[in-house]
Structures are given as C-alpha cells and as structure tokens.
Amino acid sequence: MVAIVHTADGEKGWTAIRLSFSTLRPIFRARTVSDAPPFDPSNVVSFQLMFSKFEYDGKLNPTFVEGPFELQLSSIKAYMKDPITPRFVYVSSAGVTRPDRPGIDLRKQPPAVRLNKELDFVLTFKLKGEDLLRESGIPYAIVRPCALTEEPAGADLIFDQGDNITGKMSREEIALICIAALETPYARDKTFEVKSVVPFSEPTPREGLQTAFISKR
C-alpha cells in the first residue's frame, strides 16, 4: 500500500506543525513512488503518526534515537475552505438548561423538564453532549426542538434562543432543518430552539430556514 507522507523533525516542548497537501509525498517502504496518482484529499479515511528510523529513499532520520519515546498531541485540525458550514449537526432538546435553572417554575414546564431525574437525567446528558461539541473545535449547529411529533412538515416555524420556548415540532421538519443547516455558513456555531405554530399550513421554503439562521447569534 502506498502511503502519502510528510516528515517533520521533532523538538523539545510544544511545536506547531503546519503542512499543505502539496508537500505530501507518495511512499512505499521508505521509497518515493514516482508514478503514483495525484493525491485526492476527498478520499482520506485515516492517518498515522510514526517515529521512524528512515526518511525517504534510503536516507536515515538524523534525529532518531533508539529506546522509549513519548509523543503528546494537543490537537489535530484540518484547513477548511470558506464559506465554512457546519460539519456536525446535533439534535438536542429544548429544555436542556432548565432542570437546574434557578427560579424556574417546574409546574409550568414540559414533562421532560419536570421528570428529568426520573428519566435518568436525559436532558442533563444532552446538555453535556452540547458542551463537548462546542469544545471540540468542529464547526457545528445545535438544534433544540420542542416536543417531537409525527405530524407532517409544512408548518410555520418559530426559531428562538435562550431555551425558553415550549411547544411541538414535526420530526420530518427537524430533518429538513438539519439538512439546511449543513448547507449554510449562517448556521455555523449556533444553538437555537425551534417549534411549529398551529395549525399546520403551507410548507416552509428552504430560503426561510436560511433567513432564520442569519438572525441568530
């Protein structure tokens, strides 16, 4: 198997290594493959870090030392072309911040909020999932639907932030919102709640969803 390789000399302490696809070299058993096809970045499925005794074409690694070694990684990120759209859309729930919110009247909240403890803290763990996604560095969108129903898509929608609204939301409509969020940079790194209005009316155009993303922080 031909490997696409880039080498970098190690140094003590933290070092930032930046490489472009143009510096990658096709290698098989430490030798350059001159007739390898061009590198296709859209076909990358895995990568490997190696502390090797060899470099390219029979050359030795001048910094190689036998024995135990340690390699600590702070982060690995890939460059993205503008406009950057969400790479991960997380369907959470409206109400995730409410079970422990001071001053809230639980009697006026939906069952999932009132019974969070009895439901094995489902909202608490959904909020933890949101926080992990925000900390990951991955461009994201977090959708917090109100109570999900089997009703068809097509209602007018209300988008909000701050985790205060209650209501219901079509599962089919949520799927359309997720697809729309993946396609627009205006949804990147945003968290919002959404519910439908009743009665259900004409289908909501996709342009309307993009307008809703733009208006959110």
Evaluate whether residue 73 is within a structural domain: yes
Instruction: Specify whether 39 is located in the same domain as 113.
Output: no
| pLDDT score for 39 | 82
Position 49 in a domain: yes
pLDDT at residue 88, rounded to an integer = 96
Q: Cis check for the bond before 199: say yes or no (omega within 30 of 0).
A: yes
Residue 145 lies in a domain: yes
**Same structural domain, 120 and 53:** no
| pTM for this prediction | 0.65
Query: Looking at the structure, do residues 92 and 142 belong to the same domain, yes or no?
Result: yes
Contact 4, 26 (CB under 8 A): yes
Judge if 47 and 124 occupy the same domain: no
Q: In what order do the strands lie in the sheet with 3-5?
A: 3-5, 25-28, 31-32
**Count of domains forming the chain:** 2
My answer on whether 144 and 207 are in the same domain is yes
Helix (H) or strand (E) holding 27: strand 25-28
Q: What is the mean pLDDT of each run of 10 residues along the chain (217 residues)?
A: 64 75 80 85 78 78 81 76 91 95 90 94 97 93 94 89 93 95 95 81 51 68
In angstroms, the CA 175 to CA 208 distance is: 15
DSSP summary character for residue 23: G
- Same structural domain, 191 and 97: yes
| Domain limits for position 190 | 88-214
For residue 215, the model assigns a pLDDT of 67
In a domain, 152, yes or no: yes
